[in-house]
Amino acid sequence: MAISKLTARKILKDAGAERVSDSAALELSELVDRYAYSLAKKAVSLAAHAKRKTIQKADIDLAK
């Protein structure tokens, strides 16, 4: 888990939630992890295509 349930809970609270269940915080945490992993895989692929080992901001931007 890349982000903790506590971080997910804070995000939901900052978005205006008054109360957040453990299951909602866990679900958001898992969704963010999956999205970040997918984005990272695309960015790595883009850097490899450009014959680079270093992931750059442009790779992340293009992977969106």
The CATH number of whichever domain residue 14 belongs to comes to 1.10.20.10
pTM: 0.84
Range of 13's domain? 5-63
Site of tokens 């895989």:
41
Query: Which pLDDT tens digit goes with each residue over 11-28?
Result: 999 999 999 999 999 999
The identity of residue 47, as a single letter, is A
User: What torsion do the CA atoms of 44, 46, 48, 54 make, to the nearest 10 degrees?
Assistant: -60
For the stretch 30-47, pLDDT in tens is: 999 999 999 999 999 999
Total structural domains in the chain?
A: 1
